[in-house]
């Protein structure tokens, strides 16, 4: 268990280190993040149990899973902050259909 917690923390620190130039800080006490971590861990253990993906190194798979989770969570947080600071851009983007392909 201690090794798994260490892997999760290493993934968190890696995401923060890779993006320290933009000030990425991932608080592990965030309620949304706790829920997402639980969900990701459940999926991780289900993948191990089913052996459908033929995971060769369970520690690397956990590291990648958590690194991806932290990156996605941070991007969602940054997008929310950006939209909150610039609501006029969000409204103009809603009315702009130039990026849609039919």
Q: Which tens digits make up the pLDDT trace of 21-33?
A: 888 889 999 999 9
Residue written as token pair 């459940």: 42
**Distances, alpha carbon 56 to alpha carbons 4, 7, 41, 51, in Å:** 16, 16, 17, 10
Higher-scoring residue by pLDDT: 98, 38: 38
Q: Rounded to two decimals, what is the model's pTM?
A: 0.76
Give 36-81 pLDDT, tens digit per residue: 999 999 999 999 999 888 889 999 999 999 999 999 999 898 888 8
Q: 3-class SS at 55?
A: coil
Give 99's DSSP letter: T
**Distances, alpha carbon 23 to alpha carbons 6, 15, 18, 81, 99, in Å:** 22, 11, 10, 13, 30
């Amino acid at each position: 268990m201690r090794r798994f917690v260490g892997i999760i923390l290493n993934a968190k620190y890696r995401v923060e280190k890779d993006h320290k130039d933009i000030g990425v800080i991932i608080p592990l006490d965030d309620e949304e993040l706790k829920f997402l971590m639980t969900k990701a861990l459940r999926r991780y253990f289900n993948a191990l149990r089913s052996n459908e993906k033929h995971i060769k190194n369970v520690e690397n798979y956990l590291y990648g899973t958590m690194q991806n989770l932290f990156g996605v969570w941070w991007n969602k947080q940054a997008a929310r902050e950006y939209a909150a600071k610039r609501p006029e851009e969000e409204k103009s983007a809603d009315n702009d259909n130039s990026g849609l392909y039919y």
